[in-house]
Structure 1
Amino acid sequence: MYIHVNGELIPKEEAHISPFDHGYLYGIGLFETIRVYNRHPFLLDDHIERLNKGLQMIRINFECSTDVWKTRIDELLQVNGYSDAYIRINISAGIGELGLTANPYNDPTTIIFSKPLSVNGKISEKAATILKTKRNSPEGVFRLKSHHFLNNVLAKQELGNNPRREGIFLNEKGYIAEGIVSNVFWVKDRIVYTPALETGILNGVTRKFICSLLRRKQIELKEGFYEPDHLYDADEAFMTNSIQGIVPFYAVDKRHFPGNNGEITKILLNNYNKYRETLMSSKQLKKGLETDERQKTD
């Protein structure tokens, strides 16, 4: 297997980073996970936009266009022989002296990882549980997809390794936040609910896509502060992330849900599957839906 390190393709056995990299020493770095369907990196523009904004915030002076990242991803897919894959772009601060610094980082370490995935091999439904581990507050103004993952690791240790389960964080005030590796949604009386960004959650790229899709489909969406009982009282529920897409919940704790048979869930799944091999950004969704409507009337 090959990986991309600082712009070069190398066998994974030859890859290395310095022990003085501040990504290793202090967790200063960001990453993006991207799902490739039939060699198409779904919503890559949105991932790179979030990545570039985050790098500016933590003063890592590095920016590549979507075209550059796509070229590197294409090279990695080709050399490894993958068509459907998990991609992780990883940017750490780079080499520095021991001790914290207020200076910007001008020579970061960039790595692209990949592994093959099966389109038909995903788990179709999961059960979820409300965690005892609380979601920590974001370190800055908003949550970044950073290397600082200890809160998620502690939650995973609480939940265990069962791939058919997801843990749901409450924030420090007791409001529903997000999953260990996901954003969460639920439906009541055809209204879709999801925690507001102000609860301290990551603004997931797939979350953003689903919110945009709901508005385009004129399905009411409410973002806010909700306690667990609001979720337990729902008609259907699901999680989203960039690798697994939309995953319905068949249960949250002792409350059972229809899973794949949820009315709104089916609408979203059908549209996600329709656009996953074409869209580079959720901004393109409007054009895609308009094209679908024209085709219906032709």
Structure 2
Amino acid sequence: MFVYVNGQIVSKEKATISAFDHGYMYGLGLFETIRVDNGHPFLLDDHFQRLQNGLTSLGINWSMKREEIVEVIQALLQANELESAYVRWNVAAGSNDLGFYTGEYTNPTTIVFMKPLPSQIASEKDATILSIKRNTPEGEFRLKSHHYLNNVLAKRELGDASNVEGIFLTEAGFVAEGIVSNLFWVKDGVVFTPSVKTGILDGITRQLVLSLLEQKGIPYRIGFFRPDDVMSADEAFITNSIQEVVSLTSLNGQSYRGEHLVARELRRLIAFNRERLWSRSELNGGIT
């Protein structure tokens, strides 16, 4: 594997950072996971707008234009002999003295990882409600940060099974999100999903799905819901940037026996747009 580190492409064995990088010392950094198909980074503009906004809120001075980002991705594709890939783009605060720093970080660390897309991406999974609760965001809203302990502990609770997703509840007992996904379900033709006020990450694919539902005239509701609301649904699905839309066959042993029509239609629409969209804002007139 070849990795991009601060302007250079190096083998993974040579990819290093300073021990004083505050991304390592304090988890002060953000990342985006991007799906690349046949050289096109799907929804790249949306991913990097979220990344830029988050870094600004952390006092990390970082920016790159789309052309520069694409150049890095294309160089990594070539180095790793890939046309399609899973890309993880990390930006950390960079080196500073030991101790908390309240000023602006002006020399951040940028690392871009790349690996092949899974040879088979599941279209169905089971789900189970986790006993560990979703922690509240450290700030006003949840960032896609290097501070991932809540998710790691949840994955340890769930175990290694790749065909099961764990679903977080909040401390108040509201449905939140999956370990690596956002959650949706359908009841009587209406799509439901938890509010970001439950502390979930506002996923890029989550935002795309809401835009697609609006474009297609499918009603949806965002709010605070209990596990029984999900288990009594006609269908349910989870979303993320690599797997995109995955139907749930069951939740806590309660099976979904419907035809998963909404999830199937969303998968079709995303597949149609996957190699053309830079942002969900381009959807106008682009749905068939």
TM-score range, shorter chain: over 0.9
Question: SS where residue 230 of structure 1 aligns?
Answer: helix
Q: Is 1:81 aligned to residue 81 of structure 2? A: yes
Q: Paired residue for 1:145? A: 144
**1:83-162 equivalence runs, <5 A:** 83-118=83-118, 121-162=120-161
Task: Look up the SS of the partner of 2:31 in the other structure.
Answer: strand
Aligned-pair distance for 1:285? 1.1
Aligned to 1:275: 273
**1:53 corresponds to:** 53
Structure 1 length-normalised TM = 0.95
How far apart in 2 are the matches of 1:232 and 1:247?
A: 16
Within a 5 Å distance, the mapping from 1:106-255 to structure 2 comes to 106-118=106-118, 121-255=120-254
User: Alignment partner of 2:131: what SS?
Assistant: coil
One-letter code aligned to 1:4 = Y
Q: CA deviation at 1:194?
A: 0.2
**How many positions carry a matched residue from both structures?**
288
Q: State how far apart, in whole Å, the 2-side matches of 1:124 and 1:185 are.
A: 15
For the aligned residues, what is the CA RMSD? 1.0
1:106-150: per-residue Cα shift (whole Å, max 9, x none)? Answer: 1011011000114x5112210000111000000011000000000
Could you list the per-position Cα deviations for residues 224-261 of structure 1 after superposition, in whole angstroms to 9, with x for gaps in the alignment?
Answer: 000000001100000000011111101111211147x3
Kept in 2, the 8 Å contact 1:27–1:147? The answer is yes
Identity, in percent, stands at 51
Task: Note if 1:262 corresponds to 2:260.
Answer: yes
1:30-45 alignment, distance < 5 Å? 30-45=30-45
- Letter aligned with residue 163 of structure 1: S
Aligned structure 1 segments of 4 or more residues deviating by more than 6 angstroms: none
Q: In 2, Cα distance between the equivalents of 1:112 and 1:150? A: 21
Q: Any unmatched runs of 5+ in structure 2?
A: none
Q: Distance in 2 between matches of 1:41 and 1:258?
A: 35
Greater helix share, 1 or 2?
1
Q: How much has 1:14 moved relative to structure 2?
A: 1.2
- Name the counterpart of 2:70: 70
Distance in 2 (alpha carbons) for counterparts of 1:263 and 1:78: 38
Give me the TM-score of the superposition, normalised by structure 2: 0.98
Contact 1:126 1:164 in 2 (8 A): yes
1:206–1:242 contact (8 Å) kept in structure 2: yes
In 2, Cα distance between equivalents of 1:287 and 1:62: 33
The whole-number CA distance in structure 2 between the counterparts of 1:41 and 1:137 is 31
1:17-73 deviation per Cα after TM superposition (whole angstroms, max 9, x unaligned): 011100110000000000111111110000000000000000000111222111111
Contact 1:184 1:239 (C-alpha < 8 Å) held by counterparts: yes
Q: Which residue of 1 aligns with 2:284?
A: 286
| 1:147 counterpart SS class | coil
Query: Deviation of residue 104 (structure 1)?
Result: 1.2
